[in-house]
Amino acid sequence: MSPPSAIPNGLPSPRRQWAIVAMWFALAASVIDQSMISVALPTIARDLNVEPSFAIWIINAYQVTIMMSLLPLAALGDIFGYSRIYLGGLVVFTVASLVSALSDGLTSLVLARVLQGFGAAGLMSVNMALVRFTYPVEMLGKGIGLNALVLAVAAAAGPTIASGILAVAPWRWIFAVSVPIGIASFAIGIWAFPDSPRQRRRFDYISAALSAAAFGLLILFVDTLGRGGSMWLLSAEIGFFILSGAFLLRRQVSATAPLLPVDLLRIPIFALSIATSICSFVAQTLAVISLPFFMQTNLGRTAVQTGLLMAPWPIGTSLLAPIAGRLSDKYPAGLLGLLGLLGFGAGLAALALLPPHAGILDIAWRMALTGMGFGLYQSPNNRTMITSAPRERSGGAAGMQGMARLLGQSVGAAFTAILFGVLAANAAPVVALWLAVAFAVLGAVVSSLRLTDLTKK
C-alpha cells in the first residue's frame, strides 16, 4: 500500500469511468432492492401465509442490520482499505440476494435479509470515501452530484420495476435481479477501484459491539414508538440504548481514531453538515410516506395517479443534483443548503395548501419544486461532509454520512406512524407535511450556520 502522500489525485481515464460504473451499478442495486421490497411486501406476506405485522421484519431486519454495522464497517475501511470493504459488501449483498430469492419461509427470508443488510452496510459505509479517491479534487463536486443522480433515479425507478416484475413473475425475482448486477459490479470493481491509505491500528471490537447495540436499540426504539408499543418495551429499549451509548462515548473520547467519529464531530462544519442531513431526511421521509395518503384521501386520486403525480419530485432531484454538485466546487455548501432546503420546504408547504380539487399542473410544479430544492441541497452537503474530514478519516466521514441519512429516515418514519395513529385519516397527512416543512426550515437554519465564523473556530 502506498503512503498517503503517494496516493494520486483520483484515477486516470478510462479506469476512473469503469470504477464509477461499478459503483453506480452496486448502489443502484441496493437502492432499487430496498424500494422494491416495500411494494412487494403484501404479495410476499400472502405467498408465505404470514401476518403483515410479522412480514414487516423483512424490511426491519435489513434496516436494523445496516444501522448496527455501518460504523464498524467504516472503521474497517480505514484499516483495510475502502475497496476491500466495498467489494466484500458487494459479494455478501449478491449472495444474500440469491439466498433471499430461494427462501421458502419467513424465517429463512428474514435471516437472508440480515445477511443482505450486512452487505448493503459494506457498500454504504465507504461509498463516499471511495468516491473521494476516484475523482480528482477539482471534479469531486461533479462526482458527488452524479452519485446523487443515480440514487434519485434508482429510488424513483424501484416501485415501477417492482410492479413490472410482479405483473409477470413471482416476487422472488425482485431479489434475483440484483444477482447479475452484483456480479458485473464486482468483476469491474476488483480491477478498477482506487487504492487508499490505511491506518495502522487494531480494530476496536468492544466499541464495535457497543456501537451495534446502541444504534440497533435506537432503531428498535424508534420502530416500537411508531407502532405504539408497550411502555415496558419502550423503557427497556431506551434504557439499554442509553447504557450502551454511554459506555461507547466513554471509550471513544480518548481514542486517536474512534469508531464513533467524535474527533470529526469536533470539526464545526462537519457536525453542522451532519445535523443538516438528519433534519433533511426527517423531512423527506415524513413527506414521502404521507404524500400517497394525502393524494388519495384528501385529493381523491387513485394509486396509479398518485405514482405518476409524485414522479416530478425525483425528476426534479435528478435534474438539480448534478448541477448542484458542480456549484459546490465554487460556492459554499452553507449557502446552497440554505437555498435548497428553503426551496424544499416551500414546495412541501405548497403541497400542504393544495385545494381538494387541484389540477395536475398544480400538483406537478409543487412536486418539482420540492425535488429540485432537495437536489440543490444534497450534493453540496455530501461533498462538505466528506471533504471536511482528513483523507485518512474518509471512512469515518462516509460512515457518519450514511448514519445521518438512516437516522433521519427512521425518525421521520416514527413521527409519521405516530401522527397517523392519533389523528384522523384526512388530518394526519396534512400535519405530517407541515412537520416536514418545519424540519426542512430547521435544516436550512443549521446549514446557514456554516456561513458564520462558528466554522472557523
Segment 208-252, tens digit of pLDDT: 888 888 888 887 887 777 677 788 888 888 899 899 888 888 888
Report whether pLDDT(43) > 90.
Answer: no
Report whether pLDDT(77) > 70.
Answer: yes
pLDDT range class, residue 100, cuts 50, 70, 90:
very high
Please tell me the predicted confidence (pLDDT) of residue 166: 81
The three-state (H, E, C) secondary structure of 117-131, written as one string = HHHHHHHHHHHHHHH
The whole-number average pLDDT for the span 119-142 is 85
CATH number of 7-198: 1.20.1250.20
If you average pLDDT over each of 2-11, 285-294, 370-379, which comes out highest?
A: 370-379
Report whether pLDDT(178) > 70.
Answer: yes
Residue 274 · residue 265 · CB < 8 Å: yes
pLDDT in tens, 55-70: 778 877 888 888 888 8
Report whether pLDDT(5) > 50.
Answer: no
Average pLDDT, the chain: 85
The three-state (H, E, C) secondary structure of 384-414, written as one string = HHHHCCCHHHHHHHHHHHHHHHHHHHHHHHH
Residue 399 · residue 390 · CB < 8 Å: no
Domain boundaries, the chain: 7-198, 205-254, 261-457
Please tell me the predicted confidence (pLDDT) of residue 456: 46
Please tell me the predicted confidence (pLDDT) of residue 156: 67
Residue 56 · residue 42 · CB < 8 Å: no
Please tell me the predicted confidence (pLDDT) of residue 4: 45
What's the gap between Cα 109 and its chain centre? 23
Residue 277 · residue 283 · CB < 8 Å: no
Q: How far is it, in rounded angstroms, from Cα 354 to Cα 250?
A: 50
pLDDT in tens, 254-266: 777 777 788 888 8
Backbone dihedral region for residue 228 (phi beyond 0: left; psi -120 to 50: alpha; all else: beta)? left
Q: Which residues contact 276 (CB under 8 A, 6 or more apart)?
A: 337, 341, 377, 381, 443, 446, 447, 450
Q: Which of the four CATH numbers 1.20.1250.20, 3.90.550.10, 3.30.465.10, 3.10.450.50 does domain 261-457 have?
A: 1.20.1250.20
Lowest mean pLDDT among 153-167, 174-188, 211-225, 309-323: 153-167
Distances (CA, A) of 420 to 189, 280, 374, 430, 433: 44, 21, 25, 10, 12
Cell 381538494 -> residue: 356
Report whether pLDDT(74) > 70.
Answer: yes
Peptide bond before residue 14 is cis, with ω within 30 degrees of 0: yes
Report whether pLDDT(457) > 50.
Answer: no
If you average pLDDT over each of 37-41, 224-228, 354-358, 433-437, which comes out highest?
A: 433-437
Q: At what angle do helices 82-102 and 57-80 cross, to 10 degrees?
A: 160
Report whether pLDDT(3) > 50.
Answer: no
Q: Which residues contact 448 (CB under 8 A, 6 or more apart)?
A: 334, 335, 337, 338
pLDDT in tens, 374-421: 989 988 998 888 888 887 777 778 888 888 888 888 888 788 878 887
Nearest to 205 by CA among 317, 116, 79, 109: 79
* Stronger pLDDT, 346 or 32, i.e. the higher one: 346
The whole-number average pLDDT for the span 428-455 is 89
Amino acid letter, residue 419:
L
Nearest to 451 by CA among 268, 308, 314, 282: 268
Report whether pLDDT(2) > 60.
Answer: no
Please tell me the predicted confidence (pLDDT) of residue 422: 82
Q: How far is it, in rounded angstroms, from Cα 57 to Cα 63?
A: 9
Nearest to 368 by CA among 320, 315, 324: 315
Distances (CA, A) of 115 to 259, 302, 326, 414: 22, 36, 37, 25
Q: How far is it, in rounded angstroms, from Cα 82 to Cα 80?
A: 7
Amino acid letter, residue 353:
L
Q: 326 is written with which cell numbers?
A: 458542480
Nearest to 16 by CA among 193, 140, 195: 193
How much is the pTM? Answer: 0.80
Lowest mean pLDDT among 40-54, 69-83, 208-222, 336-350: 40-54
Please tell me the predicted confidence (pLDDT) of residue 321: 83
